[in-house]
Chains A and B, each alone.
Chain A
């Protein structure tokens, strides 16, 4: 019976061949480490946010007079409303944490290099969509930080040449952040996740064309690839278990640590909070914005700081495989960049003093410097490594993989570009 149903479907829809091609027969490098779990986790958090968000929308009211009260209604009166709301608010932080680790892995192992540039750029687009969605969602509780955060950030669009003033009014739907802003942000906050899902499909189509990168940075021959299912489905599920333990510890025991106290005060356009701070995931970029004394310059620097990642395939043209794995200088650069992000995050968090502004400016210079210096440093490093020779085991791996590939001409990875 089961076979007959599947046969019936297969004549009309490529079910069996799809499952075979993308799952049970999809070749995946066997040497992937746990750092390769985070793409799957990001997809999981996306689904979690969509699911909790839809149920929250059933009880939420997008109206300046009602929205703060409706959140309290969800938190107090709706059955397990507190759970939905804390899952969603913690989920936003979890999403950025997972995405940042996913990006850090890509940077560390050089996974953005040919032929995976389009994956990297679709990921960059996803990051922008995620940031926009998170920013608009943050307005919805209509607390003090929601209101003032949205006011500060929409105000930045004044930097648009010639039509700045109009753009700000167009974004807000009013001269100030108000009811029109709240209703449009709610509409867009509901729409954007579906755009994200569309972009994720593009990201995955690109992935299944070029296949996963791996820690060695060398395209592996057929013998070193294993089917995605069951090996990586179970590995991803195990990783998901670990992730859920961390996530649920926050949801059940520390959910308020991720919500600014000032956001428990209803929005009041007449009272500015002492200190307006964005959520932790925007802090490094916020620090870059504040480091430039000129507003237009700050906006350009902040925009560029997010977009810098897209230039990585052009900046890093070293022919040494394996990203930071076999490139000591690049590895040091990676850790310094990570440290710089932490410094920027801290500077973005504390109230500005003349000293902290100076540290922020130095850290901003380091941020952009670590991108612009890559072409020069990586070329010098490449010359040095070629002269010195790669470690013998790497040379042996490259040689054996090349042998393997010439022996079994593209048995499994037929479409592989390598």
Chain B
């Protein structure tokens, strides 16, 4: 009967993940301040011209520990509590791409495969024989090859772009779930406390039940 519980647990823990057709490259994000800072730097100098991150404020970057000088440069005369709005107006985006580029605050949570999806997508561009650029992961994409991976042939160049994509995704993963580290830290204490408490309850239970003949 105990096996049933295990089966049931596995069953519900795995159910929401459904793989996409293309193979994703599985990555571990690096939520250290340095990686996130490199990621946001790349993002603010590239992606940010079209994409917004409306749930992230400049103040959040400051609180997280991103270099203050960089934040000052990005926000210009906007207040510290302003969200990271995109530099492109919706109308201009509709004219250029035919759709409004998605907000990136939750993007790593909003795709099957999470951070690995976004990473594989960024590096998924390739040149078709007809001389067009397409994407393995999301062929219908309207976004141009922002990192330039489709034109990169040198291994050193590809490695550099992979590093860049990894940093961007690390930043996006932090942006989607800024309390993750705090949650994990607190989680270890909570589980530790519960294990000790449950052990004590087990001992008390055995002691009380031993009163029965």
Query: Which of A21-29, A233-241, A372-380 forms contacts with chain B?
Result: A233-241
Chain B residue numbers with a CB within 8 Å of A209 are none
CA distance A235 to B204 in the complex (A): 9
Let me know if A253 and B187 touch, CB within 8 A. yes
Q: How far is the CB of B60 from chain A (nearest CB, A)?
A: 8
Q: Interface size bucket, A side?
A: 35 or more
Let me know if B55 and A349 touch, CB within 8 A. no
CA distance A349 to B12 in the complex (A): 11
Is chain B's interface secondary structure helix, strand, loop, or mixed overall?
helix
Let me know if A265 and B212 touch, CB within 8 A. no
CA distance A100 to B9 in the complex (A): 12
Let me know if B194 and A245 touch, CB within 8 A. yes
Which of A249, A250, A254, A265 has a CB less than 8 Å from the CB of B110?
A265
CA distance A257 to B14 in the complex (A): 7
Is A345 interfacial (CB 8 A cutoff)? yes
CA distance A156 to B203 in the complex (A): 52
Is B73 interfacial (CB 8 A cutoff)? no
List A95-123 residues whose CB lies under 8 Å from chain B: 97, 100-101, 104
CA distance A245 to B18 in the complex (A): 27
Is chain A's interface secondary structure helix, strand, loop, or mixed overall?
helix
List B108-153 residues whose CB lies under 8 Å from chain A: 109-112, 114
Let me know if B177 and A238 touch, CB within 8 A. no
Which of A76, A248, A259 has a CB less than 8 Å from the CB of B16?
A259
Q: How far is the CB of A222 from chain B (nearest CB, A)?
A: 14
Q: How far is the CB of A152 from chain B (nearest CB, A)?
A: 17
Let me know if B179 and A72 touch, CB within 8 A. no
With contacts A35-B1, A261-B114 known, is A234 near B201, CB below 8 A? yes
Let me know if A234 and B204 touch, CB within 8 A. yes
**Chain A residue with Cβ nearest B7:** A342
Let me know if A252 and B186 touch, CB within 8 A. yes
CA distance A190 to B105 in the complex (A): 29
Is A338 interfacial (CB 8 A cutoff)? yes
Is A212 interfacial (CB 8 A cutoff)? no
Let me know if A101 and B5 touch, CB within 8 A. yes
List A174-192 residues whose CB lies under 8 Å from chain B: none
Q: How far is the CB of B169 from chain A (nearest CB, A)?
A: 15
Let me know if B190 and A97 touch, CB within 8 A. no
**Chain B residue with Cβ nearest A226:** B212
Q: Interface size bucket, B side?
A: 35 or more
Is B156 interfacial (CB 8 A cutoff)? no
Chain A residue numbers with a CB within 8 Å of B8 are 97, 100-101
Q: How far is the CB of B142 from chain A (nearest CB, A)?
A: 14
Let me know if B109 and A30 touch, CB within 8 A. no
Chain B residue numbers with a CB within 8 Å of A104 are 4
Let me know if B198 and A257 touch, CB within 8 A. no
Chain A residue numbers with a CB within 8 Å of B14 are 257
Let me know if B110 and A264 touch, CB within 8 A. yes
Is A160 interfacial (CB 8 A cutoff)? no
Chain A residue numbers with a CB within 8 Å of B12 are 93, 97, 258, 280
List A252-285 residues whose CB lies under 8 Å from chain B: 252-262, 264-265, 275, 280, 283
Let me know if A252 and B109 touch, CB within 8 A. no
Residue of B9, B187, B195 with highest tally of chain A CB at under 10 A:
B187
Is B184 interfacial (CB 8 A cutoff)? yes
Is B69 interfacial (CB 8 A cutoff)? no
CA distance A246 to B198 in the complex (A): 12
Which of A234, A261, A345 has a CB less than 8 Å from the CB of B112?
A261
Let me know if A231 and B109 touch, CB within 8 A. no
Is B178 interfacial (CB 8 A cutoff)? yes
Q: How far is the CB of A48 from chain B (nearest CB, A)?
A: 14
Is A82 interfacial (CB 8 A cutoff)? yes
With contacts A72-B55, A76-B55 known, is A235 near B205, CB below 8 A? yes
List A316-333 residues whose CB lies under 8 Å from chain B: none
Which of A75, A231, A248, A262 has a CB less than 8 Å from the CB of B194?
A248
Which of B60, B112, B177, B187 has a CB less than 8 Å from the CB of A248?
B187
Which of A252, A259, A264, A283 has a CB less than 8 Å from the CB of B190?
A252
11 pairs, A vs B, C-beta closer than 8 Å: A97-B8, A241-B194, A245-B195, A249-B187, A256-B109, A257-B16, A261-B112, A261-B114, A280-B15, A342-B11, A349-B15
Not counting A248-B194, A264-B106, a sample of 15 additional A-B residue pairs whose C-beta atoms are within 8 angstroms of each other reads A83-B183, A83-B186, A101-B5, A241-B197, A241-B201, A252-B184, A252-B191, A255-B183, A257-B14, A259-B109, A260-B16, A261-B114, A280-B11, A280-B16, A350-B18
